[in-house]
Amino acid sequence: MGWPHGGGEYAEETYGEVTVLVGARRVAYPYANSLLVRGADATLLVNPSLSLVHGAPPPDVVLVSHAHEDHMAGLGGYDVPVHDHDADLSPLRSREVMVAGFGYPPEEADAADRMLHDDFCVTGRPDAVGFTDGTVFDLGGHTVTMVHLPGHTPGHSGFLIEPDGFFFEFWRGLAEFAEVVERREAALLAFLAEPRTVPEIADHRLVYRPHVSGPHVDPVERHTATHHLAA
Ligand SMILES: [Zn+2]
């Protein structure tokens, strides 16, 4: 598999002043949804995804629900203030910190770093500013309140838009599960830039961290490697 470098497309779903920009392939990684809220004074964009890399509406401020690549691939296109939760600020500011957070062994971490740069245009935003639970962005006639929902990442947050009563949370179980699988697959493809055998891939560890041992590890790794290769 593979995807065009920033050639995503999106569709608009409108709920009053709130527009959900639905990524190509719906919510599937790497094309996550984005959210656009228009107030009388300002327009706010949440999670500029890969689908927006070409020609997205111009916002005055950008928020990121959590510092993962599929929710920030479009960031480079915006020369406006960027905010995410204090607890996810470091990986948003630095791609190196984001990759370290994946906990991959060195070779796979290098592949993941290349993938973030080449496929997700992630460059890090050292200028990003933190918010906390309850921080309010007043857009004029509409407010967006940060709701801290740690778990998927330490700083993962949802967004309550009032008076519309619209709540947006990007952690949708299946989509995020797919995100983990897809990232692993993309890292595998980067690893496969040179030919590898199934045992080599299994040794490389797609599923378990290097310190995990046991009779189940090798069969699961071989099964997963074979499954990914067949996909
Ligand atoms: Zn995520």
Condensed to tens digits (0 to 9), the pLDDT of residues 75-94 reads 888 889 999 999 999 999 99
Distance in Å, CA 66 to ligand 1 centroid: 6
Average confidence score pLDDT of the chain: 81
Select the more confidently predicted residue: 77 or 132. Answer: 132
The mean per-residue pLDDT over the stretch 157-168 comes to 89
Distance between Cα 142 and ligand 1 center (Å): 27
Beta-carbon contacts of 202 under 8 Å, excluding residues fewer than 6 positions away, are 218, 221, 222, 224, 225
Domain architecture of the chain: domains with CATH: 10-170 (3.60.15.10), 178-230 (no CATH)
Return the H-helix or E-strand segment holding 93: helix 89-93
pTM: 0.73
Q: Is the dihedral of CA 154, 164, 45, 138 positive or negative?
A: negative
Cα-to-centroid distance, 178 and ligand 1 (Å): 10
Ligand 1 centre to CA of 163 (Å) is: 28
| The predicted structure's pLDDT at residue 46 | 92
Measured in Å, residue 175 CA sits from the centre of ligand 1 at 9
Kindly report which listed range (1-5, 23-27, 29-33, 97-101) carries the lowest average pLDDT score. Answer: 1-5
Tell me the pLDDT band of 62, cut-offs 50, 70 and 90: very high
User: What's the CA-to-centroid distance between 141 and ligand 1, angstroms?
Assistant: 30
